[in-house]
Amino acid sequence: MSFNEQFDQQGAWRRDFALRLKRFAEWVKEQGLLNAAMEDRMLRLQAQVRSDKVMVAFVAEFSRGKSELINAIFFAGYGRRIMPASAGRTTMCTIELGYDPEMVPCLRLLPIETRMQPQALMAWRLMPQKWFQIELQVDNPAQLAEAFEKAAEVQHVTLEKARALGFWNDDRSEDHPPIAADGRVEVPKWRHALVNIAHPLLKQGLVILDTPGLNAIGAEPELTVSLIPQAHAVVFVLAADTGVTRSDLSIWQEHLDNGATGSDNRLVVLNKIDTLWDALSTPEQVQAQIDRKSARSAEILGLQCSQVLAVSAQKGLVAKITHDDVLLQASQLPVLELALAKSLIGQRQNILRTAVAASIQELNNEAARALTMRRRDQTDQMLELRGLRGKHSSVIQRMRKRIEHEQAEFSGSSARLHAIRTVHNSLLGDVVHLLGLPTLRAELAGLTAALKQPGIKLRLKKTYSETFSGLRKTLHQAQTTMAEIQAMLDSSFGQINAEFGFSLKAGRAPDMKQSVQDLELIERSHLQYISLGNVMRMAQAGFSDRLVRALSGRMRMVFESALGEVELWNQSASAQLDAQMRERRQSFDKRLDAIARIDQAALMLDERISEINQQLIRLRAMETMLGDLTSQLLNMEPLPFALQPLPDCAGHAAHTPLAELA
């Protein structure tokens, strides 16, 4: 199957998953088991499954065939090239393709001059009036291709302005853009392009990021600090005839290499293998040469051989358009599509299953505890009512007084429960303070000041290290405080359960491990900017300002996400206590009502016992249904292609098709 077909299967799998989740939510709500915290968590889960985005970033130096590869994988169905892919520097600004049903199909372009203003790229997204917009005709491939050509537009500016925009670094002359005869410098006209079209894959949540070459990447910190690290898969494109060049290696080392543990979602494509096809060589000799280049590229980049795949994007695109199966196999594009599907779709499916499974299990546990409490109350009523058979009216009155006494004792415990809430909220306030925006700003103050100081930044690496060390310490402090809250809740809930027969259980405190990992990823993706090779670039005030904004924005997302998890956890614990107290109050009312009715007519005793028997039967059926609905979500089978192994090394599958082509 092509990547498009595999992604279609992923979309169908996700829709089935969303339908099961919807059935679970509706049933729990119908049974009155959904408290406010559970409903909030359920809504978040449904939104996560419904709007889950999958981003794949394509990164390469100029003229590696990156845009042609995007055309071959995603847009061959249009019967022509959609992304500009002519020879030379075609992708001059980052192009981000996605789908938002609330917007008209359009291409929005952000002027390059916005780099000289203080707003972060994320802030510009919220100012649509600042973007140049072209409406797109989704069913007109020629109009789409013509519109996309706009993203490759350039302009010529003075050398001074090129420096201010970040495209001219006197210390790295090899990265300089072309200079016109009049001495003016060629720079991109646009900073960022957003494409909104109802492409089938984009409608299912795929986001494609097409990035420019090294010079443009290095000048846009938000791209390497925020967008690329958040991609679920990164495809790094090389040329088969040149292998790993110096500029390719610079991009890899400075922007993509996150160490041995951070490169699992990296795929390297050795493109243009058709340039190695030689009529004077046998297909086996050609393939052996391709395999050697793939192995050498993997060795240089420090990757597994299976992460380097050799293809011909141009021949793959032609083969798809002309329906030439032999040429398609010779292009080796299907091998890449399988690897991309496994890396991107399989990984994302597992992440979604894992994230949802934890929440579903929590929701199941809360609903099961509510059902257990209902069954216990019904059983207690049954025992009380059976004990009244044949009893005098005075016995019934004593039973009423006993229930009223229990009710009064329960109501009198509110002061103790209030004290527990007070301690809980006090400790929670400490966590909110640690993860709040004022604390984050204070932690970043030293690094921000160091980055904004004019000229050469001294001791920047030490300040940088100290800042991230402090941020990690803050997250660990938050984790420690939440462990104290967890212990306090476990102890308090245990006492309440023993005294009132409740089934309270504090959910597991949010784990800051993911936030710490996100922090370390940001630290690594930022580290290249404070190296000796970037001393002159860091001395530029405009570049330093962009770096500060990129770092602040990314860190804010990490801390806000962590704080959101903490608040949801707190809400869950409070709502659980409120729900079981409400159930108990209702139980007292029902028991007193039953006693009053039985006191009036002895015949009603058997009727009430029969009612409770039926309710107990329904409760057992509800427990069975809850287990079934939960099991349907937790045990949903993954897609089969996500389990297929990749070849040990790129290219072996193409020996026969290449021979057939010859």
Is 428 domain-assigned?
A: yes
Q: What is each CA distance from 294 to 252, 288, 291, in whole angstroms?
A: 16, 10, 5
pLDDT band for position 651 (50/70/90)?
A: very low
Residue ranges making up the domain that contains 582: 391-601
Upper half-sphere CA count for residue 116 (Cβ side, 13 Å): 11
pLDDT over 80 (residue 1): no
Our count of domains for the chain comes to 1
How high is the pLDDT of residue 89?
53
| 3-state SS class at 157 | strand
**Alpha carbon distance 274, 331 (integer Å):** 8
Res 347: pLDDT = 65
Residue bearing tokens 């500016």: 157
Which of 60-64, 141-145, 173-177 comes out lowest in average pLDDT? 173-177
C-beta separation of 55 from 232 below 8 A: yes
Give the N- to C-terminal CA distance of the chain in Å, as an integer.
Answer: 24
Q: Is residue 367 over pLDDT 60?
A: yes
**Confidence category of residue 118, pLDDT binned at 50, 70, 90:** confident
Q: Is residue 356 part of a domain?
A: no
- The whole-angstrom separation of Cα 306 and Cα 541 is 42
How crowded is the C-beta side of 476, counted as CA atoms within 13 Å? 6
Tell me how far CA of residue 658 lies from CA of 243, 290, 306, in angstroms: 21, 12, 20
Q: Is residue 596 part of a domain?
A: yes
Does residue 649 carry a pLDDT above 60? no
Kindly state whether residue 144 falls inside one of the protein's structural domains.
no
Q: Is the residue at 498 inside a domain?
A: yes
Contact 205, 51 (CB under 8 A): yes
134 lies in some domain: no
Looking at residues 328-355, what average pLDDT do you find?
A: 78
Q: Which of residues 39 and 248 earns the better pLDDT score?
A: 248
Interval 512-556: pLDDT, tens: 888 888 888 788 766 666 665 566 666 666 677 777 777 888 888
pLDDT of residue 650: 44
Model pTM score: 0.65
- The three state secondary structure string of 563-614 is HHHHHHHHHHHHHHHHHHHHHHHHHHHHHHHHHHHHHHCCHHHHHHHHHHHH
Tokens of 456: 């050469």
How far is the C-alpha of 611 from the C-alpha of 605, rounded, in Å? 10
Helical residues (DSSP H) of 332-346, grouped into ranges: 333-340
Closest among 58, 65, 63, 125 to 95, alpha carbons compared: 58
* Contact criterion met (CB below 8 Å) for 242 and 230: no
Q: For the chain, give the percent of residues with pLDDT over 90.
A: 13
Q: Would you say residue 82 lies in a domain?
A: no
Amino acid at 34: L
* Residue 536: inside a domain: yes
> Is there a contact between 368 and 505 (Cβ–Cβ < 8 Å)?
no
Q: Where are the alpha helices (DSSP H) in 31-97?
A: 36-50, 66-74
Confidence of residue 652 (pLDDT cuts 50, 70, 90): very low
